[in-house]
């Protein structure tokens, strides 16, 4: 599995911390805020990035 630092996603690479109180729900499928995986209509992150979320 690649290191998290190679990801472009800000939460996975450590640039941004997930704050549930401020950000709300975090989708494990796409990495966006405001919805859950089962409600996701966005394209999926690669599996290795989903594993870090």
pLDDT per residue as tens digits for the range 11-46: 999 999 998 888 899 999 999 999 999 999 999 999
Cα 21 to Cα 18, 35, 43, distances in angstroms: 9, 14, 25
Q: How many CA atoms lie within 13 A of 40 on its CB side?
A: 16
Domain range spanning residue 27?
1-53
> What is the number of structural domains in the chain?
1
- The first and second tokens of residue 32, run together, are 């966006």
Per-residue pLDDT at 33: 93
Contact 12, 4 (CB under 8 A): yes
pTM greater than 0.85 (yes/no): no
Contact 12, 49 (CB under 8 A): yes
State yes or no: pLDDT of 1 exceeds 90. no
pLDDT band, residue 7 (cuts 50/70/90): very high
> Widest CA span of the chain, in angstroms?
30
């Amino acid at each position: 599995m690649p290191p998290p630092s190679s990801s472009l996603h800000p939460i996975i690479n450590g640039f941004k911390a997930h704050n549930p109180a401020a950000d709300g729900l975090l989708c494990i499928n796409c990495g966006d805020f405001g919805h859950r995986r089962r409600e996701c209509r966005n394209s999926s992150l690669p599996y290795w990035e989903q594993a870090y979320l």
